Structure 1
Amino acid sequence: MLATKQPKPKICKNPACRGSFVPQRMGQAVCSPACAMIDAPRHEPKARKALAEIERKDIKVRKEKLKSRGEHMREAQQAFNEYIRTRDQAAGHMCISSGKPLDWSGNAVDAGHYRSVGSAPHLRFDERNCHAQSKQDNRFLSGNAVDYRIGLIARIGQDAVDALESDQSVRKYTVEEIKAIKATYRAKTRELKKGQAA
């Protein structure tokens, strides 16, 4: 039995690519359909668009790899906070600390933590510890902790508040865990928004 000759690798003829590839058929001069379209003048706008899309995806992947743990944590916190605001808006909750109606029309609502992220970082993604709160109470009244506790007991019960207050565990999130948290809360927010739209 004769051995079939394997094709030799070639260099893509597309000047923008010039990547190495193994031809799949005789006469193949470029590595992919996107590179082939660049050589055809009638397909030039499509080819440019396809190439731009490939470059955008590549840049996105490279940027993701360059992100620090802190950047991932910030993005996860933003996703979590957006979920908390969406959850409490869907439930029609008032401000957790003042009991006043929240202004959902602008940017006047925060996701306020009962135990702050600085003092209890292990509770930063605990849904019992975070509720929609007016910016006035969260930022200018330092969280309005006394009234927050009263509102929290009314919302989740004394036992749950006691559990939050006594929780002194230590938690160090890995980058993969942080990415998973971000993805989870983005998905939960999308689901809530879909439910509101329906």
Structure 2
Amino acid sequence: MTHPKQKKCAVCGGKFAQWNSLHRACSTRCALELGRKMLQRKSEQERKAWVRKKKAELKPRSKVLKEAQAEFNKFIRLRDRDRPCISCGSYTAGQYHAGHYRTTKAAPELRFEELNCHKQCAQCNNFDSGNIVEYRISLIQRIGQEAVDWLEGLHAPKKYSIDDLEAIKAHYRKQNRELERKAA
């Protein structure tokens, strides 16, 4: 058995056994010092950009999906702000949601489909299981029978990558800013 080649520590200069190609310091203390030195070389803006990038790389797909869904839902509520609940026709509900006609569990490929999602009061969305019969009647009046038939049909499955979700989030964030600007 061969022993790992002895390398020189990038901080203190001591010798240590390098176990992989990324190993550049002899101890945890030297590794922390090396990290501090690398960060001190960068300007404040570069350091902040580097930290943001590293945090984004560590963010799991589920969190990015949740953020993209939040931006999409906000867009739906802003888009339909002057309309009543699609299910019951109420204008007086305390809280409104972005209610999906085909749920995200039943049809995840329609999660970000604007035709599939409309403003819905919390009562209909949460407690009446979407009030789906009334939702369908109003949906046909709003988007037409052909579009409803398309929503109810089969769709190719989609697996959104983190980059796809970041693009969706950025798109709807931009749309939300425009809608908020128009409303003000």
TM superposition score normalised by structure 1: 0.69
Name the CA distance, whole Å, in 2 between partners of 1:128 and 1:171: 17
Alignment of 1:34-183 (within 5 A): 57-89=49-81, 92-103=82-93, 108-183=95-170
Alpha-carbon distance, 1:141 to partner: 0.8
Name the CA distance, whole Å, in 1 between partners of 2:92 and 2:154: 29
Counterpart amino acid of residue 77 in structure 1:
Q
Name the CA distance, whole Å, in 1 between partners of 2:61 and 2:88: 35
Name the CA distance, whole Å, in 2 between partners of 1:102 and 1:115: 25
Q: Map Cα deviations across residues 99-149 of structure 1 (whole Å, 9 max, x no partner).
A: 11154xx6x110000000000000000000000100110011111111110
TM superposition score normalised by structure 2: 0.74
Unaligned runs of 5+ in 2: 1-34
Alpha-carbon distance, 1:68 to partner: 1.0
**Corresponding residue number in structure 2 for 1:9:** none
Q: Map Cα deviations across residues 64-95 of structure 1 (whole Å, 9 max, x no partner).
A: 11011111111110110000001001xx1100
**Corresponding residue number in structure 2 for 1:18:** 37
> SS of the counterpart of 1:18?
helix
Q: Does the 8 A contact of 1:86 with 1:192 survive in 2?
A: yes
Alignment RMSD: 2.3
Give the percent of matched residue pairs that are identical in Structure 1 and Structure 2.
44
Counterpart amino acid of residue 143 in structure 1:
G
Counterpart amino acid of residue 191 in structure 1:
E
Alpha-carbon distance, 1:18 to partner: 3.5
Name the CA distance, whole Å, in 2 between partners of 1:61 and 1:120: 32
Name the CA distance, whole Å, in 2 between partners of 1:151 and 1:140: 19
Alpha-carbon distance, 1:168 to partner: 2.8
Name the CA distance, whole Å, in 2 between partners of 1:188 and 1:82: 10
Alpha-carbon distance, 1:97 to partner: 0.4
Q: Does the 8 A contact of 1:72 with 1:179 survive in 2?
A: yes
Structure 2 vs 1, CA of residues 57 and 102 (structure 1 numbering), >3 Å: closer, same or farther? farther
